[in-house]
Amino acid sequence: MLIQNVFLVLFGVWLITLSVLFYWLFRHYADLTKDVSGKNLKQILDKILSAEERNAVNIRELQKNIKKIYENEKFFIQKIGIVRFNPFKETGGDHSFCLAILDGKNDGFVITGLHTRERTRIYVKEIKKGILDSGLSDEEKKTIIKALRSKV
């Protein structure tokens, strides 16, 4: 009687194992045949292949777009530097400023605002390839150097 009970238990475990495996197989087949009307193997494979082709086309388009973005990014603002200063040591505070804005190729401009009691004057000077022109003030040179070291 004991051998029969062991055999029945083993048979029950085997039956449960097969049931679980069959359920997993059935779920996998149901996922494959989703949205396929006749549910034959040719339709399933055609559906998978057409989805793969669409995905490949989309991936190629995304790669082209990413390449364009990388090519254009060097023209975006990437480096900024700002320095506040007092051009007139005897009066006022640090109300004047220099602001340098550069792109990925170190081209851009520096804006200088000189503040006095009567008015504020604003000057703009162009920067090419990060070259410091001799016509720049010390504050403008500091601002450009600060911008060259920064990354937005």
Per the structure, the complete domain to which residue 83 belongs is given by 76-149
Residue ranges of alpha helices (H) inside 73-133 are: none
Does one domain contain both 67 and 90? Answer: no
Both tokens of 111, joined, read 């804006």
Which residue, 134, 110, 139, is CA-closest to 122?
110
**Total domain count, the chain:** 2
CB 139 within 8 A of CB 98: yes
What pTM did the predictor assign? Answer: 0.58
Asked if the structure places residue 10 within a domain, the reply is no
Mean pLDDT by 10-residue block, N- to C-terminus, for the chain (152 residues)? 86 94 90 70 81 96 94 87 85 84 90 87 88 80 88 69
